Structure formats: C-alpha cells, structure tokens
Amino acid sequence: MTKQIWLNLPVKNVAKAKAFFLKVGFTFNEQQDTPSSTCMLVGEKNFVVMLFEDALFESFSQNKITDTQSSSEILISIDAESKEEVDALAEKVKAAGGIVFAPPAENQGWMYGFGFADLDGHRWNVLYMDFSKLPQQN
C-alpha cells in the first residue's frame, strides 16, 4: 500500500524559505525545484518536505491556509545527535531570521531541545533524546 510519506508546507516566498532552511543546514533536491515549489530533504533518510507558495498549496489542499501568527496546525519535530547540536541549530535559526519561541532547555529529565518558527510561522521542535534517562514504567 503506502510506500512513502512526505510533508507539504505553504510558504509566502519559496526562494526566501529555501535560503532560510539552507542557512539552518537542510539540503534540497534541486531537480524538483519550480518557481513556486522546492523539495527539502530532512535527516539521514531524506524525508521530503515540499515547500509550496501559498496559492499553489491552496489549490492542492482546496482549503485556506492557517494563520500561523495566531494558531498552529502542526508541530514538526526533528532529532539532534547531542545537546551541542541543539544549541548550534538554535543559533543558526536565529542567524537565518527565524524566531526561537522556546530556548534550548531540559525537558522531562531525558530530553533537551528548543522550538522555533520559520519565516512563515511554521513551528519546529528540535530534540536530543537520551533514552538511557527515560523513566521506566513499573
């Protein structure tokens, strides 16, 4: 049945969104670039995140785009290999013009991460998870 999954996100300006994510450290499959879309690759397995300009996204979804300044439809979580990588990514996000809405911090005793909003207000969560510290259930 299902062979692959990917995420589609609306953006106001594909070129600006791509420049932001390149500065943060993501890569792109430029063979799939069009003037109104780009294919971002995330992680070792190259999870696809398609960035579509708003009008094209709305034509596919046949629905209005969420106002990311007042609400969230999704929180996109990605992992990091260390606390240092979390901290470095937070700095890259700030330098690229993103908004860190939750600065790097410990969470639940076994996670360390931060949250940021990209140029279009989509919210991302970056986590380093130390499973050796995960509380055990009785």
3-state class (DSSP) for residue 74: coil
Domain shared by 59 and 6, yes or no: yes
Domain carrying residue 90: 74-138
Q: For 25-47, how does the pLDDT look when each residue is reduced to its tens digit (9 = 90+)?
A: 999 999 999 999 999 999 999 99
Of 36, 66, 96, which residue sits at a domain end? 66
Provide φ and ψ at 132, rounded to 5°. -70, -20
Domain shared by 84 and 101, yes or no: yes
Domain shared by 78 and 138, yes or no: yes
Domain shared by 83 and 130, yes or no: yes
CB of 106 closer than 8 Å to CB of 112: yes
Of 11, 34, 66, which residue sits at a domain end? 66
Domain shared by 85 and 50, yes or no: no
Token pair 């260390």 is found at 82
Domain shared by 36 and 60, yes or no: yes
Q: What percent of the chain has pLDDT over 90?
A: 91
Domain shared by 58 and 7, yes or no: yes
Domain shared by 82 and 53, yes or no: no
Q: Considering its fold, how many domains does the chain have in total?
A: 2
- The predicted model gives 60-78 an average pLDDT of 93
Cross-strand pairs, 124: 76, 116
Q: For 91-107, how does the pLDDT look when each residue is reduced to its tens digit (9 = 90+)?
A: 999 999 999 999 999 99
> What pLDDT does residue 67 have?
93
Token pair 């860190």 is found at 100
Confidence label for 17 from pLDDT (cuts 50, 70 and 90): very high
pTM of the full predicted structure? 0.90
Neighbouring CB atoms inside 10 A of 122's CB total 23
Total number of residues shown for the chain: 138
Looking up residue 57, the CATH number of its domain turns out to be: 3.10.180.10
CA distance 40 to 29: 6
> What pLDDT does residue 138 have?
67
Domain shared by 13 and 55, yes or no: yes
